[in-house]
Amino acid sequence: MVMIGPRLQSNVLRLGAEKRVLLHISRYQKYENDWEVPQAITQEGIACALSMLQNNVSRLITKLEKEQKVASKLCHIKGFSRRRRAYFLTEEGKRIADMLDKELREDQIIFEGKECRLIDCISKIALELANLGEKPAHISELIECYLLNGRISAEEIKSYRERLNLTSNKNHEKVSRTEPKETTEPKVPFLGRNREIELIRSSLLDKSVKFVVIKGIAGIGKTSLARKIAEGYKSNFWFSFTQFDTFEDFAREIGKKVGNDSIGTARELAYSMQSVSPLIVLDDFQNAPEKVSSALAILRELEKKSNIIVISRKTPNFYDVRHVVSRVVFEIELSGLDKETSKNIVCIEDAYERTNGHPLYLHLIEKAGGWKNAFTSMADFVNSEIIGRLSKEEMETMQILSLAKRRLSRETLLQLSGSASNINLLISKCLVSEDEQGCCAVEPISEFIEKSMDGKSRLEIHSRIADYILNSDDFSNPKEPAYHLINSNRLGEAVELLYSLGIEEDAMPLLDLLYGKVDAEHEAQIDILKGDIFLKKKEYENARLFYNRAQKATNEKIREDAYFRLGELTLKEKLWKDTVEHHQNALQIARKSKDNNRIARALLNLGNAYAEMEEFEKAREQFQEAENILSAKCEYRGLAALYLSLARIEKEPYEELQKAIKYASLAGYKKCEGAARLHLAHLGNVDEGKKAFEIFRSIGYEDGMVQSSEVIAKLYLQEGKIEEIESFLNTLSISGGLFWRKNSKVSVRISIRIHEILAEWFIDNAKKAHDYAEKGLKFGKSGKLHLLHGKAHAKMGNLEDAKNEFERAYDIFNSERNEEGVIVSLINIALIYKSMGNNDFAKTKINEAMDYAKRTNDVEAQRHLAILLDELA
């Protein structure tokens, strides 16, 4: 047992929080260049290890970064799906940590009743730890163990480690946005609005009305009215939009309600919403993404009756006056309460004239003790009687809630402010509301709070919220932390975040906001991000424009990234020479950097480009040089990727695939190992396909699971083992185990793909192909299944049904921007029109397909289409 004598004035007892942070990080400095790092060097991990509030750790880290003792970067964290910010020591930080380590080792302690130096007993403790099956203790562990328990022993260190491991493995899941939760919010009596309640209830019963839209200014009572209506239903789906919510966020919650997590389009969302009953309430719809409005516009045209209440400060764009006149939409705009209700709330005669019946204002007056404490101006009243009477801690909580722009849980508030004890008091004052999604400052109080904040407080709180989000594992959209980074004037970090994580199309306004406010280097990164968005949308010319701008940057790494992306773009366009040229430019820049990792990556990319052009000798040259670099560095991850690329150009790739598997296994590179085994399965080894499937399932790689399932199914078909395929499909059902219940989206994708394979395999047997296609379509949408379904109908002589199926296929492929699928669908529609004797319509469809083929530079399709046009002529 080691104890630190109180008379010895130990350095441990005088060790400040900053020094403890530096010592803790020094323990993990060896991971600085690793691809994956421990959670212990995130803010959350540091707070856990040092028994501090994360809020305090955030402030310490910010200070240490400014003093250039600590640096941060986004890293993959063991056990977490998203990258998070990890912290490492700079050269100055290392120097201080080393000095502290030496000083502390000389510290005088009492060990087994005798005074001695700490260094003298470390080996003894290490031996005791070894007997317990534990590794030797780092000096930071010894210190934290003592500060936590007042003593140091092998048992205490083991207990300390177990506590950290238990805490780090807690599952911090998001609170569901639709499930009910206990709340301490006091019940405010609902008064008045009898006319509005009657109108809305009668509209919801009207067979023609699908939407009730409640409009009005902030705090006028829209949400309270909707809650009153919802009380009349046994169950309902309620979603409050924030400015950070994406289409995927909303679709995910609808999917949970209907048992479908593969909703990807506005049309799919519309049909899924039809299945939610008996009532849907969409609050703060002015924040809803455009794609959700598109889904509601589709839902508006469907025959089935819907009951949806939409709450918004402005008129939504999914309907117009025609739909109000035809009573598809019932629209109501709330004004203030009537005079009698206003009097009932605050029990004063002139309240109506003074407030114009604004309900929140009336509740605030009542809470403040009546009209005698209020001013004639709402702004004066709120600032003097509400904001001015808040304690310092209450004001900080209100400021955090006002700037967060979304509801926060009590646990989050505790981390951000250091206290959540004042929430109940703020709720009782009607300043904060709480529901299943968390707490928020009521409107318009939040607007008053935000306007009253000074610039320094605003910057500090935005910065605190940004750091909290970045160090949590549940942020689903980089837009939210980027928004707070921008508002805390950390513009460069916002760009770096978006650049490292990538963004979707709906973040384009955020990029426009940043452009012109950051330096040229960050503007170039924004150009690449915009190019990435357009590349995903297959708007290649726009993508090229931004990539070309980025490649003029002075930062060589950004220029290299721009050339790499131009190579990917031209590869999609099948412009092989341009692809090679762009990758050669990237390689040239990488060589100048003398960074072997970058050089090897560029060589691999160039080799893959030559492989696509079927110039295999040139590809081998690039791969050989990359192999020399990676072998010298023992870079197993890179070697695994290299041998996988080599395998794709070899006629007998078994040796290369075994090497890829070997190095991927050494590097823990599961995705590459699965890809190598999948390649072996393509060569006819069904067992390797099963191994690949299990590897992809273990890492949750959906595309890999679908591809390996596809290969397994084809191999079983070749062997005539249909029953094996049916058995495999049964294991994918929702009742087929915990994994598939949690991952129903991928099980649906696999089921659809296997039915595509079965329908295509049996296409000569029209009835069998028809049945497999029809069965597959029950799992979800598939352009290919509609095509096969149409071909089966055509073989059976059902031309009208065939045309309808081909048109459905066309719609799906077009929405997915799948040009090849669009061309094939148009050709089949044309052939049906030809069979019906309508050659003019057939020519129109062939010409439309020709336009797509020319646009995508598909020479083979153009040749085939020209032949069809000649036949029709």
> Which pLDDT score is estimated for 175?
37
* Cβ-Cβ contacts under 8 Å for 200 (sequence gap 6 or more): 212, 214, 225, 229, 309, 330, 332
> Which pLDDT score is estimated for 734?
41
135 and 235 both lie in a single domain: no
Answer yes or no: are the C-beta atoms of 505 and 542 closer than 8 Å: no
451 assigned to some structural domain: no
573 assigned to some structural domain: no
> Which pLDDT score is estimated for 410?
82
207 and 316 both lie in a single domain: yes
546: tokens are: 């931004």
Q: How confident is the model at residue 180 (pLDDT cuts 50, 70, 90)?
A: very low
Mean pLDDT calculated for residue range 358-368: 58
Q: Give the range among 12-26, 217-231, 731-745, 799-813 with minimum mean pLDDT.
A: 731-745
> Which pLDDT score is estimated for 504?
65
* CATH classification at residue 847: 1.25.40.10
Q: What long-range pairs does 228-231 form, CB within 8 A, spacing at least 24?
A: 228/190, 228/193, 228/197, 229/197, 229/200, 229/201, 229/204, 229/279, 229/309, 230/279, 230/281, 230/309
Mean pLDDT calculated for residue range 203-215: 90
> Which pLDDT score is estimated for 127?
73
Task: Write the burial class of residue 123 (CB in 10 Å: 0-12 exposed, 13-18 middle, 19+ buried).
Answer: exposed
Cα–Cα distance between 832 and 118 in angstroms, integer? 88
Answer yes or no: are the C-beta atoms of 508 and 530 closer than 8 Å: yes
Q: How confident is the model at residue 453 (pLDDT cuts 50, 70, 90)?
A: confident
Q: What does pTM read for this prediction?
A: 0.53
Q: How confident is the model at residue 501 (pLDDT cuts 50, 70, 90)?
A: low
> Which pLDDT score is estimated for 488?
86
Task: Write the burial class of residue 324 (CB in 10 Å: 0-12 exposed, 13-18 middle, 19+ buried).
Answer: middle
Q: Give the range among 90-94, 243-247, 289-293, 377-381 with minimum mean pLDDT.
A: 377-381
147 and 58 both lie in a single domain: yes
162 and 304 both lie in a single domain: no
CA angle 258, 264, 267 (to 5 degrees): 80
100 and 163 both lie in a single domain: yes
| Res 369 pLDDT > 60 | no
Cα–Cα distance between 471 and 249 in angstroms, integer? 20
21 and 87 both lie in a single domain: yes
204 and 149 both lie in a single domain: no
271 assigned to some structural domain: yes
Residue 808 lies in domain: 783-872
Residues in the chain: 873
152 and 207 both lie in a single domain: no
> Which pLDDT score is estimated for 340?
60
Mean pLDDT calculated for residue range 435-455: 81
Predicted confidence (pLDDT) per residue in 800-824, tens digit: 999 999 999 999 998 888 888 999 9
Predicted confidence (pLDDT) per residue in 267-315, tens digit: 888 888 888 878 999 998 988 888 899 899 888 888 888 889 999 988 8
Measured CA distances, 391 to 279, 422, 740, 745, 868 (Å): 41, 10, 51, 49, 80
Of 128 and 40, the one with more pLDDT: 40
Helix locations, 423-478, DSSP H: 423-428, 445-452, 455-470
Of 166 and 364, the one with more pLDDT: 364
Q: What long-range pairs does 296-305 form, CB within 8 A, spacing at least 24?
A: 296/211, 296/270, 298/266, 298/267, 298/270, 299/210, 299/270, 299/273, 299/274, 300/210, 300/211, 300/328, 300/329, 302/270, 302/271, 302/274, 304/274, 305/207, 305/210
Predicted confidence (pLDDT) per residue in 397-411, tens digit: 888 988 988 888 888
Mean pLDDT calculated for residue range 590-605: 89
584 assigned to some structural domain: no
677 assigned to some structural domain: no
H or E element, residue 115: strand 114-117
SS3 category, 385: helix
Cα dihedral value 38, 39, 42, 47, nearest 10: -130
> Which pLDDT score is estimated for 750?
87
807 assigned to some structural domain: yes
> Which pLDDT score is estimated for 371?
47
Q: How confident is the model at residue 229 (pLDDT cuts 50, 70, 90)?
A: confident
Domain tally, the chain: 3
Half-sphere exposure of 302 (CA within 13 A, CB side): 20
Task: Using alpha carbons, select from 284, 180, 186, 305 the residue that is nearest to residue 234.
Answer: 180
Mean pLDDT calculated for residue range 82-99: 86
Mean pLDDT for the chain?
A: 81
107 and 210 both lie in a single domain: no
Helix locations, 683-743, DSSP H: 686-699, 702-718, 722-731, 738-742
> Which pLDDT score is estimated for 7?
36
| Res 186 pLDDT > 90 | no
214 and 153 both lie in a single domain: no
Cα–Cα distance between 792 and 786 in angstroms, integer? 10
Percent of the chain with pLDDT over 90: 24
Predicted confidence (pLDDT) per residue in 313-346, tens digit: 888 989 888 888 888 999 988 876 665 655 555 4
Q: How confident is the model at residue 364 (pLDDT cuts 50, 70, 90)?
A: low
> Residue 281 pairs with which residues in a beta bridge?
238, 309
41 and 93 both lie in a single domain: yes
Answer yes or no: are the C-beta atoms of 2 and 151 closer than 8 Å: yes
Q: How confident is the model at residue 374 (pLDDT cuts 50, 70, 90)?
A: very low
Mean pLDDT calculated for residue range 431-436: 80
Of 335, 355, 372, the one marking the end of a domain is 335
221 assigned to some structural domain: yes
Task: Using alpha carbons, select from 111, 147, 153 the residue that is nearest to residue 20.
Answer: 147
Provide the phi-psi class of 216: left if phi over 0, else alpha when psi is between -120 and 50, else beta.
left
654 assigned to some structural domain: no
Mean pLDDT calculated for residue range 574-595: 90
Answer yes or no: are the C-beta atoms of 689 and 714 closer than 8 Å: no
> Which pLDDT score is estimated for 172?
39
Predicted confidence (pLDDT) per residue in 455-495, tens digit: 888 899 998 888 888 876 556 567 788 888 888 888 888 88
Answer yes or no: are the C-beta atoms of 66 and 59 closer than 8 Å: no
* CATH classification at residue 55: 1.10.10.10
Cα–Cα distance between 315 and 310 in angstroms, integer? 10
12 and 151 both lie in a single domain: yes
> Which pLDDT score is estimated for 437?
74
Mean pLDDT calculated for residue range 53-57: 73
Amino acid in the structure at residue 567: G
Q: Give the range among 475-489, 493-507, 754-768 with minimum mean pLDDT.
A: 493-507
| Res 853 pLDDT > 50 | yes
